[in-house]
Amino acid sequence: MQISLIIGNLFSLLSAICIAVSVVKKSKKDFMYWQIGDALFGTGANIALSAHAALVISTVCFIRNLLSYKNKLTKNITILLLIISVIVGLYANNLAVIGLLPIIASASYTICIYITKNEQQMRWALTLNMILWFIHNFYVQMYPSALANIVLCGWTFVQIYKNRKIKI
């Protein structure tokens, strides 16, 4: 087994743990704190596995999550991060259609993080995000993250159900 595959999957496992913890958090601040770790470890995994577009996206996600955590994610910064992630992500894409999935996932999730404070809406956006990342992660052999994406989609649906508001 290649050393880069092992290192990539170790970082992938750490990323998966961070995203798993984030799903059960009740506040947006706690939610974003753990997603900072997810993006940081995801960056390491993408470096090791030579997933260039995902590397760009993970780096931009780290910046976005950090700014969101610190309540510094303004409209202009959000637009700038979207532009950077799309343009640089497309330029760095070395995986054709598969390389587009992290770009789409990140762009849609960035918009959601900016426009909502509602944890339920963030959970729905996170579910879509994880489905797109699952396909990418499985393709680049980032198996712990791919498995975590599927498990966490189910877990996120449970959290959505548990945290729904009952209307009478």
Q: What is the DSSP letter of 24?
A: T
The residue type at 164: R
* pLDDT score recorded for residue 159: 81
71: how many CB neighbours lie within 10 A of its CB? 10
Mean pLDDT by 10 residues, the chain (168 residues): 89 91 84 93 94 91 93 91 92 92 89 82 88 93 89 87 68
* pLDDT score recorded for residue 113: 77
Taking the domains of the chain in order of start, what are their residue ranges? Answer: 3-162
The model carries a pTM of 0.80
Q: What is the DSSP letter of 140?
A: T
Q: How far is CA 31 from CA 51, 78, 94, 167, in A?
A: 26, 18, 31, 25
> Alpha carbon 68 to chain centroid distance?
14
Buried/exposed code over 6-15 (b: 16+ C-beta within 10 A; e: otherwise): eebbebbbbb
Q: What is the DSSP letter of 145?
A: H
97: how many CB neighbours lie within 10 A of its CB? 10
* pLDDT score recorded for residue 1: 56
* pLDDT score recorded for residue 42: 94
* pLDDT score recorded for residue 168: 41
* pLDDT score recorded for residue 166: 54
Residues in the chain: 168
Q: Which residues contact 55 (CB under 8 A, 6 or more apart)?
A: 43, 46, 47, 92
